[in-house]
Structure 1
């Protein structure tokens, strides 16, 4: 390649080199301008610090200049040669030691648990002992039968045999409504999901407690359910000196003598405690039987126990519940939200309603035994 052919190549190389030199000079100029600005700012800061030192502060020792020290520590040569892209400088001992930051002077943020904790729903109820059947009617009719007489031995051939008599009674039980409600703002339910769930559970639990009370002790007047305790057979096997555990066991026997099989006991929490804590004269527990069955349910004398606040403290109910009574569900417990109440729609309020409709039929009162434990 001759000289003429090399000239365009050399010219292109020279132009590229000049552009790089110009770019490098611009970067150096920018760095120098930044340096000058930093030095000026630091001189101003140094004057301010010096004023604080004269008032008793201990920021820098006399004779030291902050600006030149910072400039010396900056990697200006590295920036100029493009070896370094950034640089930093330290000012050791520039600031005086102040008090340490601790949790006492720095507030911390707390974590909010969105779950709402409150009363727990009861683990079991009177409903759990009964047969439950859905219905679409507003009233339930059922026939209760009874017999008189007994079978006998025929003494001689041709003699008349023993005759039974049967009687029938038509009973009617009506569907009753148990309900409760609470007002709430639409916004709070939209914004607080946990609150909506909490209200739902609490309303359902309130229904269950009233249901327990009605199924056990409703007196049948007005719109009250005719409860199990009001129809049950009175306990009649008490003996002198009986303790609570003796009474409980004898009540189970009374069910057996009525040709039933005890399937449940309903007592108050205090009564259950009394059963399980009974001791003899030497302080030994009398309850030698297991207090839970294979399913983890509480039992007394091998019979499942429902512990209910609705039962009186010393009262009890033992029964062959599967054959003695039946619960009819006209409407299972539901929770509904609506604005159709007074001026709730215009105020962005809602009514949260929990409601159920049930009917209770007691076919065999003799398979239910009610009573009270003697005073301790």
Structure 2
């Protein structure tokens, strides 16, 4: 049923209810005159009819408003769909030209179209302005993931020193009374983590920065993102040489399966790596995988074609063996790492990301250029390398 039919039916129903309301009011008036009061039945009937009347009036008004809006939108669309009339079309459609043709097109015909405004460039076209979207469309950004795995602290120096236990000989045991007790042996050494810079810069003209109001904010965001991605790579893959951070992979214990199993799968490998940690008294709390390897694991099926552990309709999150999975392209394809990251390493922030704009760089002043520089400072200490196990999947292709 169309809106028009609904409106018609509602109006008829409203007329009927209004009539009943009138009859009930007359009945109540007569009872009041005859007996001095109105029965509860008449009161209830009147209240019910008034409620129905009010509700129906509300529905009818909304439906009429919607129909009016539809009609107006349709009229607007029809008007907008009309092609812009050029000067030639205005002449062809002119009544004077039609009369001239009907009269045999003899003699001359004067047609005035001076007031015709069209979308042509020499008419009204110059007044038409295109819409301008103010939001800048940036390239897709990768989400930094490694910082969220480890502990984060701060430092006010350029070097973080800490004590690290290097020896534990625990000889505690049961002894008899009045006998010599066994001696244990412990040792600690000093370790340190130097604060490193992560930085980059980009030149930009002063005029561009001043004329594009949103560019400075966008540039600031891009430079900070660059720092975060460089940090993400260093935390995982820094080799500790030169000015590089001493990252997680450079300190991991090589994967060595505690026991062999037939047809070892990537899922098996990760469980055996967890066992390797557990045998060293560490309980792994997460995996770091390349997205390709994580997809390979999620797509693992049994002999019946059923997914081994993933429910594609109700996937709660990236977890395996009860531990979270961090899927990132910072990890090389075919490799993995498992660790108890909460105790394995600590970031010490020395300076949060800072973005500065300056004209005092080389010949910037005479060229009206600005240098935008972003940098941050931090130290990274992998305090318990034994809490990290990593390697390559035996069956990675």
Report the TM-score range of the alignment, normalised by the length of the smaller protein: 0.5 to 0.7
Residue in structure 1 matched with residue 241 of structure 2 by the alignment? 221
State the partner residue of 2:40: none
Indicate conservation of the 8 Å contact 1:267/1:311, yes or no. yes
- Would you say 1:244 and 2:246 are equivalent positions? no
**Shift of the alpha carbon at 1:155?**
4.3
Q: Distance in 1 between matches of 2:321 and 2:334?
A: 18
Report what 1:267 is aligned to.
289
Q: Tell me by how many angstroms 1:335 deviates.
A: 1.5
How far, CA to CA, are the matches of 2:326 and 2:278 in structure 1? 20
Deviation per CA, 1:316-360: give whole Å up to 9, x if none. 121111211111111112211111111112322111111111111
CA shift, 1:122, in A, is: 2.9
Are 1:324 and 1:367, in contact at CA under 8 Å, matched by a contact in 2? yes
Aligned to 1:341: 361
Moved more, 198-207 or 107-116: 107-116
Partner of 2:220 in structure 1?
200
Aligned to 2:10: none
1:148 partnered with 2:168: yes
Long gaps (5+) in structure 2: 1-91, 104-109
Q: Which residue of 2 aligns with 1:351?
A: 371
2:341 alignment counterpart: 321
Query: Among residues 115, 124, 146, which one is paired with 1:126 in the alignment?
Result: 146
Residue 140 of structure 1: CA displacement? 1.1
1:20-169 equivalences in 2 (<5 Å)? 57-58=97-98, 60=100, 109-169=129-189
Tell me the TM-score normalised to structure 1 length: 0.67
Please say if 1:209 is aligned against 2:238: no
The structure where helix makes up a greater share of residues is: 2
User: 1:4-61 CA distances to partner (integer Å, 9 max, x unpaired)?
Assistant: xxxxxxxxxxxxxxxxxxxxxxxxxxxxxxxxxxxxxxxxxxxxxxxx9xxx954557
2:277–2:388 CA contact under 8 A, matched in 1? yes
Distance (whole Å) between structure 2 residues aligned to residue 251 and residue 191 of structure 1: 56
CA shift for structure 1 position 230: 0.9
SS in 2 for 1:255: helix
Aligned to 1:176: 196
CA contact (8 A) 1:154 1:160 kept: no
Mapped partners of 1:193, 1:281: distance in 2 = 60
1:280-291 pair list within 5 angstroms: 280-288=302-310
Corresponding residue of 1:35: none
Q: Distance in 1 between matches of 2:174 and 2:163?
A: 32
Give 1:173 shift: 1.6
Report deviation, 1:106. 9.4
Shift of 1:264: 2.7
Change (3 A) 1:289 1:243: farther
RMSD, matched Cα: 3.2
- Tell me the distance in 1 between the aligned counterparts of 2:355 and 2:229: 16
Asked if 2 retains the 8 angstrom alpha-carbon contact of 1:145 and 1:168, the reply is: yes
**Structure 1 range deviating more: 194-203 or 131-140:** 194-203
The Cα shift of 1:166 comes to 0.8
The aligned length equals: 286
Q: Relative to 1, partners in 2 of residues 1:306 and 1:157: Cα closer, same or farther, differing over 3 Å?
A: same
**2:378 equivalent to 1:361:** no
Task: Label 1:310 to 1:284 Cα distance change in 2 as closer, same or farther (>3 A).
Answer: same
Instruction: Evaluate the alpha carbon distance shift between residue 337 and residue 173 of structure 1 in structure 2; reply closer, same or farther with a 3 A threshold.
Output: same
SS in 2 for 1:353: strand
Cα separation, partners in 2 of 1:265 and 1:259, compared to 1, 3 Å: same
- Secondary structure class of the residue paired with 2:203: strand
Structure with higher Rg: it is: 1
CA 1:152–1:205 in 2, change beyond 3 Å: closer, same or farther?
Answer: same
For residues 299 and 140 of structure 1, do their structure 2 counterparts lie closer, same or farther at Cα, with a shift above 3 Å needed?
same
Give the Cα–Cα distance (whole angstroms) in 1 for the partners of residues 319 and 353 of structure 2: 28
Given the alignment of the two structures, is residue 255 of structure 1 paired with residue 277 of structure 2, yes or no?
A: yes
